[in-house]
Structure formats: C-alpha cells, structure tokens
Amino acid sequence: MTDAPPPGLPLTEVQRRLLLFIERYMAERGIAPTFQEMCVGIGLSSRSGIFRILDGLAERGFIRRRPCRPRSVEILRRSDEPARQDVPSEAAIEAAIVHLRSHDPYPEVQEVVRFLAAYLPPPPPPPNGAST
C-alpha cells in the first residue's frame, strides 16, 4: 500500500489534462464522462491508465469516485482552485508559544518555539503615553 501524497501536492501534467477534460465535459453535458470517453479525451489507449490518474486526483482531493457505478466521478475541487491549507490562527500560534515557553524545558522544543515566533507579526506598539 502506498502513502497518500501530502496535501497541496501539485497535479502532474496528465492529471491536470484529465481533470480539465472532466470539468469541460460535465459543464457541457451535465454528467461525468465514461472511462472510454476519458481515454479518447486525453489520448490514452488504456482504461487502466485512466484508473491510475483518477486515483491520483482522488488522493489529492480533486475528485471522488463511487465504486461500481458508471459515470461516477464527482468534482470536489476545480483544477484552478488552490489547495486548502489548514493554517492555525495567529492567536492559536501565540497561545501555543506561550504554553511551550513556560512548560517545556527541552532545548529542541524551545528552538521550534523560536522558529514559530519568527513568523508572527510584531506586536502592535503601545498606545501613546503608555509605558511598556
């Protein structure tokens, strides 16, 4: 069994071509193409190649397939949409940094804390007349 590709991994050229073909086909006809139509649409001679490409698109979160059903490709994310990134908020990062600084004495953890802190914007200046 192979590991799924990491989120945000770019599409290969053939994956991009197939996804664009499926998007256009569905926009014109309202249904997904058959595997044979996909082969013809992107110039492949083997349906097994289409299965592999569809598996890669599904692993990357672009499509979903329902097994044992004809025309079962469902587009979840269009080819021109960027990958969804689960990025914590600045407040969540700051809270984690404060917790780790005060509760974890290990040097390796403190190094990670310094690395994360470098990506946070500087705190706003105090209001006029306020002392720090």
pLDDT digits (tens, 9 = 90+) for 73-97: 988 887 766 555 555 666 777 777 7
**CATH number of the 13-75 domain:** 1.10.10.10
Long-range Cβ contact pairs of 91-95 (< 8 A, separation 24 or more): 93/119, 93/120, 94/120
Residue 23 reports pLDDT greater than 60: yes
The domain spans of the chain are: 13-75, 87-121
Quickly tell me which residue has 């469902």 as its tokens. 74
Kindly state the average pLDDT of the residues 110-125: 72
* pLDDT exceeds 80 at position 2: no
